[in-house]
Structure 1
Amino acid sequence: MNPGNQSIVTEFILAGLTEKEELQLPLFLLFLGIYLVTVVGNLGMITLIGLSSHLHTPMYYLLSSLSFIDLCQSTVITPKMLVNFVTERNIISYPECMIQLYFFLIFAIAECHMLAVMAYDRYVAICSPLHYNVTMSYSLCLRLTLGVYILGILGSTIHTGFMVRLFLCKRSIINHYFCDLLPLLELSCSSNYINELLVLFLSAFNILFPALTIAASYILIIANVLRIPSTKGRSKAYRTCSSHISAVAVFFGSAAFMYLQPSSVSSMDQGKVSSVFYTMVVPMLNPLIYSLRNRDVKSALKKLLCKKAHS
């Protein structure tokens, strides 16, 4: 491909979720509400963990990192989507499209591995509680978090680097509501065989590997919990893990549906619905799941509100 030909593509039109005009305003209001809840929920979680000294533990350090990833991922996608609901032509320039793709992939990949790290944290907490503080030290948490972001940046750089090498010329309409890998590959006039292999290989690594890590952690956790003699102890252990399992099921289920299918059988219309879950619904639900089902978070919030009321 001649790199100079790439200048032919200067902008794209995003097809969006639907072409029905009567649905544009209701969808705008719906996703605006979702985004506001996402911003308030995740910023609130980060602030609460930062201000509450008894939440300064590895589990909540990782949770605040997850909230930051969710906030960034939603912000990369949703504001542009909201603008497109109220404009006649949903245009995005080629550089903006590549930037959106790059940062979306960073945070999507980072979330996969952060959920795996959090599963390992729960495994250590339940299966080796006496060694928890030593094993999950601050330095290890920091290294694991840095590793999560490095994997995100590395995977995103590879995908985006191979994407900009393609000659996109078939049409200027992206059949999606944001610049994602699969709909962009559909526009390629040059061979995208390597790109499709990368999508399958890196998606398998970034989705299946964390999913298997999580599954292995919970198999060991369940085996350990079943040996706990008291019903109260088993109930507490299950409650500790239930929030994380809920978040994992929704995120990995929707992401796997989108990226782990061959292009010959995947449907972008179905993919749009699936991607709504991991780009917008999951970032909104995560702080709600972890706060509503976590006594420590609810206790910290009550104490913080009491302090504000007394001051």
Structure 2
Amino acid sequence: MGTREVGLPATVKANGLPERVTIWEVGARDGLQNESTVVPVDVKLEFLARLADAGLGVLEATSFVHPKWVPQLADAEELLAGLTKVDGVSYPVLVPNERGLDRALAAGVQHIAIFGSATETFAKRNLNRTLDEQFGMFDPVVTRARAEGLDVRAYVSMCFGDPWEGAVAADQVASVGKRLMDMGCSQLSLGDTIGVATPGQVESVIAATSSVGVPIGDIAVHFHDTYGQALSNTLAALRLGVTTVDSSAGGLGGCPYAESATGNLATEDLVWMLDGLGVQTGVDLDKLADTSAWMAGRLGRPAPSRVVQALRG
């Protein structure tokens, strides 16, 4: 496999964009959770160390979901016990319920995320709850976590389309997001779980969410690239003032509960675009591309990222 040094894109600043964007790297959790072959914990730890060395400041490390549902993440305690944390880097973990919170607290976690649904069908399939019942499950988790001094992020899935229900109304997404934020969450990540969103829809959902009182600075976006729209959707969000973007090194990942969900927005592709726009991320693209090529080798297949393919293909 050939390699060349990163030739950075020409930088041409565009009006109306933030000076800096925080990349919420989900490769170690969302990126690996769908892998059928269990990745050894030492490989995961090296992956996280390499990502931190590349300059990523938020690394979603694992999930305390029941091992039966996501066997890839059954080693959560072992991974966290072996993790060498880097100063200035946050290592949030996904917590599905109170039992997951118990495990997170025992592991000394400081930052958790909960995972809600914008639609009735996905709430039933993913959480075994109705759309309304999910809030009763999350409320004690958030309340306890906040009382223990933890920061809590709220994910909302199926914000733009659901494989069983079709397009999702923007005001429905806003209502779910508002209720989660009112519990005490500090950030709301709007997820395009099956990758069907387009920029106009992104603008509509973010505007609706902002209109119910969720500050634009507390909104993050999480796009999948099923139809090749993740970067254009991200740019639409940035123009509205969003400054946190979820992505996965190499473009790994999907959702184990939604078969039509393909890979996440690749972190390299995002960084290439932001570098070209003069938006700061603090990420070393060369090191990041090396890391994703290395992980692709461990998984035995090329990285989906177009930038990784161009630079390390």
Fold shared by both chains (TM-score > 0.5)? no
| Higher helix proportion (structure 1 or 2) | 1
Larger Cα-atom Rg = 1
Give the TM interval when normalised to the shorter protein.
under 0.3
Q: TM-score, normalised by structure 2?
A: 0.25
| Higher strand proportion (structure 1 or 2) | 2
Greater relative contact order (CA < 8 Å, ≥ 6 in sequence): 1
